[in-house]
């Protein structure tokens, strides 16, 4: 069975990392899984295709100049016609829209990766029509399944839940620069984009309530960088907030940290949570969206209300002061990740959905 996965590529975020894990796993199961990327040729897209090539996954690229590209449907239809997939599997808005129009006779599967608020607005009427074309919909968590049904209005009978899978932390693609930390500093690490959704402003305000030897390092890029640095300076923790951007070896920094932090306001899945669990790090995160499905409160970490710096600081303090507890939670997190969120489990469940079509 040939399955063409379709996604707009801008770099390597959560959904792209998911594809880099899922496609090789599907091919190991005997499926002819390949990638069709929609991109504008920017340098930021190259690492994604290089990773596909390294893993042996065939791919094609279709140029996408801007969001409403009138010629894209024709170019995509021509590409898919040449590949002759039995199934076109779309990911996120651009692929959902253009894929539904260009899939031809192929069956369509659509994965929903997040509960972004815009999906519950006027766009929900467009999404409902697009889903009529899909033979099946995949939601990556039960929380997202509920959002799709209750907020977007998608038919419950079409939705299947398939959690992301990960067996190991991300492999290093380069070395890390030395962080400007004192030898006795206690490090908190968050792995996420620098944007409002991730609640990093709440983490900065919580940092101000923690002892002066605690530092927060956020691994990622995004539009909130300057605002976060400015906030940290205003409240007196500017030297304790580290924003190194994308780093070559995330796993090493996670293992250096005492705790992982994820104060998101909403979250489709949070692949960074699995990465931290596989590195045996206890997690302090907000109890929103899918996060309680991944982080077992009191067992693999602590969950707090969103937008509450005091509660976040209190939970962080409790674990910083109790090494035995956070080590026990870290070990439990790795066991939970391997048992409930394995790559093989994700791939086999996805293949079952294909077979049912």
Whether residue 14 is predicted with pLDDT greater than 90 in this model: the reply is: no
The answer to whether the Cα torsion of 183, 187, 192, 198 is positive or negative is negative
**284-302 per-position pLDDT tens digit:** 999 999 999 999 999 999 9
pLDDT at 276: 97
pLDDT at 236: 96
Contacts of 57 (CB under 8 A, 6+ apart): 23, 24, 27, 33, 34, 35
| CATH hierarchy code of domain 186-340 | 3.40.50.2000
Q: What is the pTM of this model?
A: 0.88
The answer to whether the Cα torsion of 336, 191, 171, 55 is positive or negative is positive
The yes-or-no answer to whether 2-165+342-356 and 186-340 have a common fold is yes
| Percent of the residues in the chain that have a pLDDT greater than 70, as a whole number | 99
Q: What fold, for 2-165+342-356?
A: Rossmann fold (3.40.50)
Contacts of 120 (CB under 8 A, 6+ apart): 147, 151, 152
**223-282 per-position pLDDT tens digit:** 999 999 999 999 999 999 999 988 878 899 999 999 999 999 999 888 999 999 999 999
The Cα 349–Cα 93 span in angstroms is 23
Give helix 225-234 / helix 200-207 axis angle, nearest 10°.
20
Whether residue 180 is predicted with pLDDT greater than 80 in this model: the reply is: no
Mean residue pLDDT across the chain: 93
**145-159 per-position pLDDT tens digit:** 999 999 999 999 999
pLDDT at 186: 95
**314-342 per-position pLDDT tens digit:** 999 999 999 999 999 999 999 999 999 99
Q: CA-CA distances (angstroms) from residue 143 to 139, 267, 289?
A: 9, 10, 6
Whether residue 175 is predicted with pLDDT greater than 80 in this model: the reply is: no
- What are the sequence ranges of the domains in the chain? 2-165+342-356, 186-340
**15-43 per-position pLDDT tens digit:** 998 999 999 999 999 999 999 999 988 87
pLDDT at 206: 98
pLDDT at 268: 86
The Cα 326–Cα 283 span in angstroms is 9
Whether residue 65 is predicted with pLDDT greater than 80 in this model: the reply is: no
pLDDT at 183: 78
């Amino acid at each position: 069975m040939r399955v063409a996965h379709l996604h707009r590529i801008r770099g390597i975020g959560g959904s792209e990392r998911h594809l880099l894990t899922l496609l090789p796993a599907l091919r190991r199961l005997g499926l002819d899984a390949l990638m069709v990327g929609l991109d504008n040729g920017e340098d930021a897209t190259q690492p994604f295709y290089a990773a596909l090539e390294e893993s042996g996954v065939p791919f094609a690229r279709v140029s996408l100049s801007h969001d409403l590209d009138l010629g894209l449907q024709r170019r995509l239809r021509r590409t898919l016609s040449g590949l002759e997939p039995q199934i076109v599997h779309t990911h996120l808005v651009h692929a959902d829209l253009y894929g539904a129009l260009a899939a031809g006779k192929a069956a369509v599967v659509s994965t929903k990766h997040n509960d972004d608020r815009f999906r519950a607005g006027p766009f929900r009427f467009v999404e409902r029509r697009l889903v009529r074309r899909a033979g099946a919909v995949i939601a990556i968590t039960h929380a997202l399944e509920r959002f799709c049904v209750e907020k977007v209005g998608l038919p419950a009978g079409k939705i299947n839940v398939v959690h992301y899978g990960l067996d190991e932390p991300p492999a290093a693609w380069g070395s890390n620069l030395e962080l400007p930390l004192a030898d006795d500093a206690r490090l908190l690490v968050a792995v996420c984009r620098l944007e409002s959704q991730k609640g990093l402003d709440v983490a900065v305000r919580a940092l101000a309530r923690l002892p002066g030897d605690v530092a927060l390092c956020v691994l990622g890029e995004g539009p909130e960088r300057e605002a976060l640095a400015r906030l940290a300076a205003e409240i007196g923790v500017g030297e304790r907030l580290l924003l190194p951007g994308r780093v070559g070896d995330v796993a090493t920094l996670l293992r250096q940290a005492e705790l992982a932090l994820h104060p998101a306001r909403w979250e489709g899945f949070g692949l960074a949570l699995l990465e931290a669990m596989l590195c045996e790090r206890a997690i302090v995160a907000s109890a929103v969206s899918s996060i309680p499905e991944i982080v077992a409160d009191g067992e693999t970490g602590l969950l707090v209300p969103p937008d509450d710096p005091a509660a976040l600081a209190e939970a962080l303090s409790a674990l910083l002061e109790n090494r035995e507890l956070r080590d026990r939670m870290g070990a439990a997190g790795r066991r939970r990740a391997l048992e409930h969120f394995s790559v093989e489990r994700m791939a086999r469940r996805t293949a079952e959905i294909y077979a049912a079509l």
